[in-house]
Amino acid sequence: MKAALKRLIVAAAPHLRGPVPTPVIMWNVVGSLVPLVAAATYFFGPSALLVVAASVLGAVGTEHVFGNGGTLADGSAAITGVLLGLTLPAGFPLWMAVVGSVFAIGFGKLLFGGLGYNVFNPALLGRAFLQAAFPAAITTWPIAGGSGGSWWALRGDNFAIPFTHPVTDAVTSATPLGLMKFESKTASLGDLVLGTTGGSLGETAGLLILLCGAYLALRNFLNWRVPVAVLATVATFAGILHSVDAARYASPMFQLFAGGLMLGAVFMATDPVTAPVTNAGRWIFGIGIGLLVVIIRTWGGLPEGVMYAILLMNAVTPFINQLTQPRVFGTDRARIVV
């Protein structure tokens, strides 16, 4: 017996561990984004793939160079890259996509201390930066489905030389939200649900986004409370407005499926790092985003407000956490410890 003794592990309890490590969660999210990239490629041609690839390259490269060693394997940089790519239009110059994703990882995440410490969703921060830096390029929307030219044709100016003004010769279209805002035209709901409209790469196929989100929620890789709260709030708020004046305010279904709401609600607002950690807090967070989205879309100067809505709620997340501490077993009520 004693001869058979070998080195024994002596570690702190518990000695068993749950089945799902963080990198598995992260790579599953990446995997669930693949159908969205495929759909974008189907609608917008190879340009879509190029933009996403450029964005991933920038994100992963930045993480590799400035990250804290071995952090590439956790998959979080890849998620940021894909998500940022999906928020950009198909004809977006690739060098701008790289700049955006370098900013997203470098300033949005690594500057705060890397994974787990960032305040704002890095992908959205990257997009906000691009919107401020390149307002024209980021609002040049090629139409989906490839009218004019073959599927293989590039949509716009993907290979523009850095710091030259891109020459836009693509067949472009306004986004449904833009049309709604500035021309009071609504798109058909079928186009919105399936994704055959103008818009950023990943935001058009609402139904597909919901399916991918449902997969993640079922495997408990994503907290369902946030997207449910966001979508329910938008539907309710928009529904109230629509019933007050149907001519002036868009229908709830239009609000739900137009623009980046689906992508934002399912994949960005649910970023656990930048969302509240308590379940009560997640409801508040989601409702806040929903309200802000409708307010910005309806009365703001921009046609779309999902990005700013999520970033604003990211900023108040620490306060939501403090206000929603759970009631401890055997005590009367939640005690707010500031």
Residues that bind other proteins (CB under 8 A): 1-2, 4-6, 8-18, 20-25, 74, 114-117, 220, 223, 272-273, 275, 277-279, 282, 321, 325-331, 335, 337
Which of 92/283 has CB closer to other proteins? 283
CB of 274 to other proteins, least distance (A): 8
Nearer to other proteins, 208 or 310 (CB): 310
Residue 166: Cβ within 10 Å count: 21
Output the CA–CA distances (angstroms, integers) from residue 206 to 128, 210, 211, 261, 338, in the order listed. 22, 6, 9, 9, 40
Q: Quote the least distance from Cβ 223 to other proteins, whole Å.
A: 7
Q: For other proteins, which is the closer residue by CB, 69 or 135?
A: 69
> CB of 17: closest distance to other proteins in angstroms?
4
CB 192 within 8 Å of CB 256? no
Between CA 99 and CA 67 the distance in angstroms is 17
Q: In this structure, what token pair is assigned to residue 2? A: 């004693």
Residues 6+ apart with CB under 8 A from 175: 141, 197, 198, 199, 258, 259, 303, 304
Nearer to other proteins, 72 or 207 (CB): 72
Q: What type of residue sits at position 16?
A: L
- Which residue spans within the chain are E strands per DSSP? none
| Rounded distance between C-alpha atoms, residue 81 and residue 163, angstroms | 22
CB nearer to other proteins: pick between 162 and 318: 318
CB of 158 to other proteins, least distance (A): 33
Residue 115 Cβ vs other proteins, minimum distance, rounded to whole Å: 5
Cα distance between residue 31 and residue 302, in whole Å: 32
Nearer to other proteins, 25 or 160 (CB): 25
- What is the nearest approach in angstroms of other proteins to the Cβ of residue 123? 15
Q: Which residue has 């449910």 as its token pair? A: 228
Report the C-alpha gap between 202 and 36 in whole angstroms. 6
- 1 or 247: whose CB is closer to other proteins? 1
CB of 81 to other proteins, least distance (A): 17
> What single DSSP character describes residue 201?
T
Dist. CA 231–CA 252, nearest whole Å: 10
Place of tokens 């499926």: 257
